[in-house]
Structures are given as structure tokens and as C-alpha cells.
């Protein structure tokens, strides 16, 4: 290499230099991201490499921080709902629900039964879309180019369905305090009923073509083993915790809405590795179909928005409330404190991805770079949710 040229730019910024201080001599410090194909957006991970082995990894956040919690302080409760669709573009309705649910709990608002079922149906559809997005992107991480096209083909159908009641395709703001914005019309219900058997017929194909593929199995089996103890320490939830054998699902642990009336199983896996998390998500899609099917049958006629639902100028009663729902990535929580004004005094959002990501530094230690990417993908991270 020519030494006459200025190589200062290679020394890196504050984070890299700080990280490099404790690195062993001769090891390579590599910045994965913020622009890197497998960090799904703008996550940045600084890794210390010895050859191809990851000695240490440190995720660096903040590249997509949009001050959602601050925005909650300057907006009225109803005005804040659109923000929730933008926290996690993968499972926007789960976030809708967490915030709306917390406000309803605080103000003691009873939601009409039909609205609850509509929430369950749309939220589960959104969960399927989210898992499909993860599935396609994860296989892309593992070097398989084709599955994402099939996943997006299916996801497109879900988005087409959700477009009818919500009016948008990705960043939904569909839930209202006291119900939902619009009823599912006959057209929408017909499409959902058609989607269920169609998607069921696709899942075995995915199993045959992708899940049982020998290369895929060798890539994810035994990779990124997370002990249940570590999951508890880091507060991991959702498929990550269930993939490690922890039977924790908010829909069952702290039942809300109509979930107690619905029959579904919470899949867990004793494998604890990337394969376990993969399997859990694949089974969850099947279970979501079951939930939707039952909810469609049980759904009564009626209003979808409670009479006298809060207007934007509505004053939130004084007090505090916490409400959690099961999102596609884990436990989505919203904690609201109100001092009786129009704006909620403080809103704290609990993002499952943040806790799940914090496992990465521990799990990736000593793995090969390719495995580290496989582990990162198996945690199903949506960066805007982590940064908020």
C-alpha cells in the first residue's frame, strides 16, 4: 500500500476509535453498516474480526431516531396514532393497538365487540405480512435470492386486503381510541376468506422448497444458541424467546381483547438456535390463519367505534396505564401518564426489537462473520422500531 496518501479517514469516528481501543493488535475492526445489505436499514454494528471470526460486536443505534416519544408530548392522543404506524413498518397495527389500548385503559373506554374482532383479524393479517417480510429478507441474508419474491407475492395479497379498511398499505393508522376507523366491508371479508386456504396451500411448498433444504438447514441449525436464561436477562420476547423454549406470549400471558375466546397454540422450540426461531415464526403464520378463521366466524354485527368516541380535542383523564400486545417481534408495550390535559404528559414505548438486538453482542461472540449475519437476521430486527 502507498503510505504517502492520507489514511486518516480509515481510523473511523468516535465509536469505532473507542471500540478499537480495547481491540487486540492485528485484529480487524469492521463497520457493518449503517449502509450494509444485511443490516436491514440503518443499523450499524462494529465488529472486531480475527480472520473471519467475530471476537466482539457492538450495535450502534441512533441513525433512525425520530423522537416519537417526544412527539407524543406535543400531540393530542388522537393525533399521535399515525406516529404508531411509523414506529415499526413491519407490524404497524400491533403498535396502533398498544397505544390505543393504553389510552382506553386509562380512560376506561369499552370497545365494541365487533371492533375487537376486527382488531384481532387485521392485527393477525399484519403479523403474517410481517413474518413473510422477515422470511424473505432472512433468506436473502443467507444468499437465497428467490424466496423473497414468493414471500412478497403472498404479502402483496395481505396488503391488498388491509388496504380496503385501513386505506394504506404499510404505515397504518387504523385503530381509534374506542374502536377502529372503518368496518371490514363484504369485499374485504370475501378476500380474507379466500386468502386463508390459499396461503395454507403455500406453506407446505415453502417447507418443501426452503425450510427442508439441506444448505439452509446447515446454515441455521445450531447457530446462535440463546439460552432461556439469557432471554430473560435481556428481556427478549416474541419468537426469539419462544425459539429458546420460553412459553411466553402476551396473547396468553396477559390476555387482552378476544384472544381468550380463540383457540390457538403458542409454538415454542427447544432448539434455542436460529432454526428454532425460524420454526416458531413459520408455525405462527399457520396459527394466525386459525385465529383469523375463528374470529371471522365469531364476529358479531354491530358498531366498530364506541358511541361518543374521543375527539381530537378530548382531554385525557388524569392517571397512568400500561398496555401490552403481542407484536410480530415480541411484546409491544405502551405506558402513558396523563396530567389531565389534551396531550398525554409522557408516553413510553417498549420496543421488542431493542431487547432482542441487545442479545446480539453476546450471541455473536466467537462465530464466523457469515453466522453473525445469520444470527442478526434470525432476531428479526426492524431498525425504526429500535430507534423510535
The contact set with other proteins (CB under 8 A) reads 1-2, 5-7, 9-10, 28, 30, 36-38, 49, 51-52, 139-146, 149-150, 153, 213, 215-216, 218-219, 368-371, 373
Q: Report residue 197 as a C-alpha cell.
A: 386456504
Question: Cα(353)–Cα(360) distance, rounded to whole angstroms?
Answer: 11
CA dihedral for 306, 307, 309, 314, sign (positive or negative): negative
Backbone angles phi, psi at 47, to 5 degrees: -125, 145
Question: Cα(65)–Cα(82) distance, rounded to whole angstroms?
Answer: 16
Q: How near is the Cβ of 269 to other proteins at its closest, in Å?
A: 20
Q: Which residues of 23-45 are buried (b: 16+ CB within 10 A; e: fewer)?
A: beeebebebbbbebebbbbbbbb
Q: Which residues of 144-163 are buried (b: 16+ CB within 10 A; e: fewer)?
A: beebbebbbebbebbbebbe
Q: How near is the Cβ of 140 to other proteins at its closest, in Å?
A: 7
Pick 10 or 186: Cβ nearer other proteins: 10
- Crossing angle of helices 186-206 and 113-141, rounded to 10°: 30
Q: How near is the Cβ of 152 to other proteins at its closest, in Å?
A: 10
Pick 141 or 387: Cβ nearer other proteins: 141
Pick 47 or 192: Cβ nearer other proteins: 47
Pick 52 or 229: Cβ nearer other proteins: 52
Q: How near is the Cβ of 21 to other proteins at its closest, in Å?
A: 18
Pick 149 or 186: Cβ nearer other proteins: 149
The DSSP line for 193-220 is HHHHHHHHHHHHHHIIIIIT-HHHHHHH
Q: How near is the Cβ of 5 to other proteins at its closest, in Å?
A: 5
Q: How near is the Cβ of 218 to other proteins at its closest, in Å?
A: 6
| Strand boundaries in the chain, DSSP class E | 28-32, 44-50, 53-60, 175-176, 179-180, 319-326, 331-338, 346-350
Q: How near is the Cβ of 214 to other proteins at its closest, in Å?
A: 9
Pick 146 or 247: Cβ nearer other proteins: 146
CB proximity list for 34: less than 8 A, separation 6 or greater: 42, 43, 44, 63
246 and 231 Cβ atoms separated by less than 8 Å: yes
Q: Which residues of 364-384 are buried (b: 16+ CB within 10 A; e: fewer)?
A: beebebbbbbbbbbbbbbbbb
Pick 141 or 279: Cβ nearer other proteins: 141
Q: How near is the Cβ of 2 to other proteins at its closest, in Å?
A: 6
Q: How near is the Cβ of 375 to other proteins at its closest, in Å?
A: 12
Pick 49 or 241: Cβ nearer other proteins: 49
CA dihedral for 352, 355, 356, 357, sign (positive or negative): positive
Pick 27 or 168: Cβ nearer other proteins: 27
Q: How near is the Cβ of 215 to other proteins at its closest, in Å?
A: 5
Q: Cα-Cα-Cα-Cα dihedral of 68, 386, 241, 206, to 10°?
A: 110
Pick 38 or 76: Cβ nearer other proteins: 38
Amino acid at each position: 500500500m502507498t503510505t504517502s496518501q492520507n489514511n486518516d479517514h480509515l481510523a473511523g469516528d468516535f465509536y469505532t476509535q473507542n471500540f478499537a481501543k480495547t481491540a487486540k493488535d492485528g485484529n480487524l475492526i469492521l463497520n457493518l453498516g449503517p449502509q450494509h445489505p444485511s443490516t436491514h436499514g440503518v443499523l450499524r454494528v462494529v465488529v472486531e474480526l480475527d480472520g473471519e471470526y467475530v471476537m466482539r460486536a457492538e450495535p450502534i443505534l441512533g441513525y433512525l431516531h425520530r423522537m416519537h416519544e417526544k412527539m407524543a408530548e406535543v400531540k393530542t392522543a388522537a393525533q399521535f396514532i399515525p406516529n404508531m404506524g411509523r414506529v415499526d413498518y413491519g407490524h404497524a397495527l400491533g403498535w396502533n393497538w398498544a397505544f390505543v389500548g393504553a389510552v382506553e385503559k386509562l380512560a376506561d373506554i369499552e370497545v365494541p365487540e365487533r371492533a375487537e374482532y376486527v382488531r384481532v383479524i387485521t392485527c393477525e393479517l399484519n403479523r403474517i405480512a410481517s413474518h413473510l417480510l422477515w422470511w424473505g429478507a432472512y433468506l436473502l441474508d443467507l444468499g437465497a435470492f428467490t424466496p423473497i419474491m414468493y414471500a412478497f407475492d403472498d404479502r402483496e395479497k395481505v396488503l391488498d386486503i388491509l388496504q380496503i379498511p385501513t386505506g394504506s398499505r404499510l404505515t397504518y393508522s387504523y385503530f381509534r381510541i374506542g374502536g377502529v376507523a372503518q368496518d371490514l366491508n363484504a369485499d374485504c371479508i370475501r378476500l380474507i376468506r379466500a386468502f386463508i386456504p390459499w396461503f395454507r396451500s403455500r406453506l407446505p411448498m415453502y417447507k418443501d422448497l426452503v425450510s427442508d433444504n439441506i444448505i439452509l438447514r446447515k446454515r441455521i441449525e445450531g447457530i446462535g444458541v440463546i439460552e432461556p436464561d439469557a432471554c430473560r436477562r435481556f428481556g427478549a420476547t416474541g419468537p426469539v424467546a419462544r425459539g429458546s423454549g420460553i412459553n411466553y406470549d402476551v396473547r396468553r400471558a396477559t390476555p387482552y381483547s378476544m384472544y381468550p375466546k380463540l383457540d390457538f397454540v403458542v409454538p415454542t422450540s427447544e432448539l434455542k438456535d436460529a432454526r428454532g426461531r425460524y420454526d416458531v415464526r413459520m408455525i405462527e403464520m399457520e396459527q394466525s390463519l386459525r385465529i383469523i378463521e375463528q374470529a371471522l366466524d365469531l364476529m358479531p354485527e354491530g358498531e366498530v367505534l364506541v358511541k361518543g368516541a374521543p375527539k381530537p380535542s378530548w382531554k385525557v383523564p388524569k392517571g397512568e396505564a400500561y398496555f401490552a400486545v403481542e407484536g410480530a417481534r415480541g411484546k409491544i408495550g405502551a405506558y402513558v401518564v396523563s396530567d389531565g390535559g389534551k396531550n398525554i404528559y409522557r408516553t413510553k414505548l417498549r420496543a421488542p426489537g431493542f431487547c432482542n438486538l441487545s442479545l446480539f453482542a453476546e450471541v455473536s461472540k466467537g462465530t464466523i462473520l457469515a453466522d453473525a449475519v445469520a444470527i442478526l437476521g434470525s432476531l428479526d430486527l426492524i431498525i425504526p422500531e429500535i430507534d423510535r
